[in-house]
Amino acid sequence: MQDFLLFLAVGFLAQIVDGALGMAYGVISSTVLLSFGVPPATASASVHAAEVFTTAASAGSHTVNKNVNWKLFVPLALGGVVGGGFGAFVLTSIDGDVLKPFITTYLAIMGVVIIWRATRQTRERIFPRKFAGPLGLVGGFFDAIGGGGWGPVVTSTLMGGGADVRKAIGTTNAAEFFVASATSAAFLTSLMSGHWQTEGLGDLMWSLAGLIAGGVVAAPIAGWMTKVLPLRLLTWFVGFLVVALAVWQGVMLF
């Protein structure tokens, strides 16, 4: 029960940040699990299983609050499904830490770009739909590899490209449901086929239940926050969060 209450709080806080700013549920949850000694692939599988439920609630909240760009949603989700499935297969085959320095460098650059945009009255631009699929592919792959990377990669790229802040956050969150579902299915397939051998999944049930419960409760609040917070303030928050995540990843690596 103690694990449930702890991860209830972790899931709630992580989803508030993720739902309002478009990133960090996976990163926060994975970091806590890894600090408990959970292997990277098991941590990623657990977080994505929780995200199937939390992202469903988040997608509904952002839809109700009209934060979703449906033209970008479809190619983002399709690309994310393919990238997430492939990333899960790779993570159960090789050491995912090999790719983390490249992800960290990319996030740092995107964070600086977003902060730069926040300091200026730059005009919003329409993010090219033809790039949404490839972006989803890359975001889904990094998300599966790192246990959380969809939001930082996709939201930061959309905002760095000049997309509407609220739409960037809401669309990323809505598409994430399909990415989490595909990634979870890939982990399950690897486990059932014998490609991936793991222990300790049963011991994480209370932690997983806490992550789900906390995230589902927080999702409606976070979607509303995205709608009402001032755009420039949202941009500042996202920029600093991306840079902070990149710095944290860098510290963990070096």
The predicted-structure confidence for 141-185, as pLDDT tens digits, reads as follows: 888 876 667 888 898 888 878 788 889 999 999 999 998 888 888
pTM (predicted TM-score): 0.79
In 3D space, the residue among 159, 181, 172, 183 whose CA is nearest the CA of residue 242 turns out to be: 159
Q: How far apart are CA 195 and CA 197, in angstroms?
A: 7
Which helix (H) or strand (E) is 203 found in, with range?
none
Please say whether the dihedral angle defined by the alpha carbons of residues 90, 30, 27 and 98, taken in this order, is positive or negative. Answer: negative
Taking the CA atoms of residue 232, residue 238, residue 240 and residue 243 in that order, the dihedral angle to the nearest 10 degrees is: -140
The rounded distance, in Å, linking the Cα atoms of 111 and 105 is 10
**What angle is formed at CA 99 by the lines to CA 117 and CA 94, rounded to 5 degrees?**
155
In sequence order, which ranges of 65-122 are alpha helices (DSSP H)?
Answer: 70-91, 100-118
Mean local confidence (pLDDT), 203-212: 81
Comparing C-alpha atoms, which of 109, 115, 124, 114 is closest to residue 163?
124
Whole-number Å distance between alpha carbons of 95 and 99: 9
Q: Output the pLDDT for position 123.
A: 61
Question: In the 8-state DSSP scheme, what is residue 142?
Answer: H
The token pair at 148 is 């959380």
Express each pLDDT in 209-247 by its tens digit. 888 999 999 999 999 999 888 877 888 888 888 788 778
- The residue written with tokens 């999944």 in the block is 201
Over range 61-84, report the average pLDDT: 93
User: For residue 193, what pLDDT is reported?
Assistant: 65
Other C-beta atoms lying within 10 Å of the C-beta of residue 135: 23
Please check whether residue 136 is in contact with residue 75, taking contact to mean a CB–CB distance below 8 angstroms: yes
Hey, what are 158's tokens? Answer: 């959309």
